[in-house]
Amino acid sequence: MGTEADSQHLHVETFLVAAGRPERSPGSPANVAVELTSTYAADGPVNYARSGNPTWNAFEEALGGLEGGHALVHASGMGAISAALALVPAGGTVVAPDTTYNGTGDLLVAHEKGGGTVLRVHATDTAGFLAALESADLLWLESPTNPLMDVTELDVVLARSRELGVTSVVDNTLSTPLLCRPLSLGADVVVHSVTKYLSGHSDVVLGATVVADTERGREIGERLRRHRTLHGAIAGPMEVFLALRGLRTLSVRFERAGASAAELARRLEGHPAVERVRYPGTGAMVSIDVAGDADAAERVCASTRLWLHATSLGGVESQLERRRRHPSESEQVPVNLVRLSVGIEHVDDLWADLAQALDHV
């Protein structure tokens, strides 16, 4: 398989199944092998496993094709985020939403402590982003944001970033390439926590970056590759194999979870124990503001039997969590907000469990 060229000729559901397979020949395996080695014989394409592995190549081919560019797999989502933020020059200015994934937020705080500047803009304030970009070195976006589910006008903001020559990064973890392909909107880098929807089974920790197949994209991609190699945030071949296997079912998983999320958001509207439903209209994530205080939200999370009370998202199992239980979570996030990651269980079972938990408010 190739990458982008093949993805343009196949429906995405088909490409997910077909990408990253070995070349077909009599007796060839259907799946790539897990190559467990640290060392390679001299004078080949790879001399040491910190810089490459054939199992990585297969996953990177598939994800790169989905996003319309070239992918690199990293040891974790934070490894990918760290590599992307390393594109900011020392003392440079980052423009970012006022609420982001809290790991990203921690790195932005560290950037400020190191002498850099972070200009924070509300995710829906397009004019604010356009103004802030005038002095920016790097633009960081999430759409929707995690966990407030705010939506940014990516096309408008990215277009201006491109005009000004500002490097732009979009964390596409919540939308996945099925809903959004930021490179096609002008982004320089796409970031994923592969741990979440792409692998989809809560059994690996991985991240990825993707860049466009352009001269600028290749230059940025080489900087990301060098960061991965020098900082050692490399992925294990077995984890990457599992992520590629999970990627095969992304379409069917995401379709089912998204349909259930839309239905649950509808049922939650007007529920007496819910002050606000935060749902961007697509995807499989919903956040709710529980009526009452932090204790009320914690009681909801502690009272589910089917929903897993956990800090991750994007797995086949539905998960929920009060996000302000983490000290590093933004103060912009209400103390009574509960983030719901909708899985692939039957929606009526999910609703029954959630409804009885809300009765504890």
H helix or E strand, kind and range, residue 229: helix 215-231
| Spatial separation of the C-alpha atoms in residues 136 and 2, rounded to whole Å | 36
Is 40 assigned a catalytic role? no
Per-residue tokens: 31: 């799946």
* Active-site annotation holder among 120, 160, 181, 196: 196
Q: Provide the edge-to-edge strand list for the sheet that holds 93-97.
A: 69-74, 207-212, 189-192, 167-171, 138-142, 93-97, 117-121
Is 113 assigned a catalytic role? no
* Active-site annotation holder among 101, 181, 322, 324: 101
Go through 2-31 and write b for each residue having 16 or more CB atoms within 10 A of its CB, e for each that does not.
ebbeebeeeeeeebbeebbbeeeeeeeeee
* Active-site annotation holder among 171, 197, 279, 322: 171
Is 48 assigned a catalytic role? no
Looking at the DSSP assignment, which residues form a beta bridge with residue 322? 338
Nearest to residue 268, comparing CAs of 361, 154, 191? 361
* Active-site annotation holder among 6, 21, 40, 50: 50
Coil, helix or strand at residue 90: coil
| Spatial separation of the C-alpha atoms in residues 230 and 188, rounded to whole Å | 22
Q: Indicate the DSSP class of residue 132.
A: H
Is 171 assigned a catalytic role? yes
> Cβ–Cβ contacts within 10 Å for residue 234, how many?
19
Give the residue numbers marked as catalytic. Answer: 50, 101, 171, 196
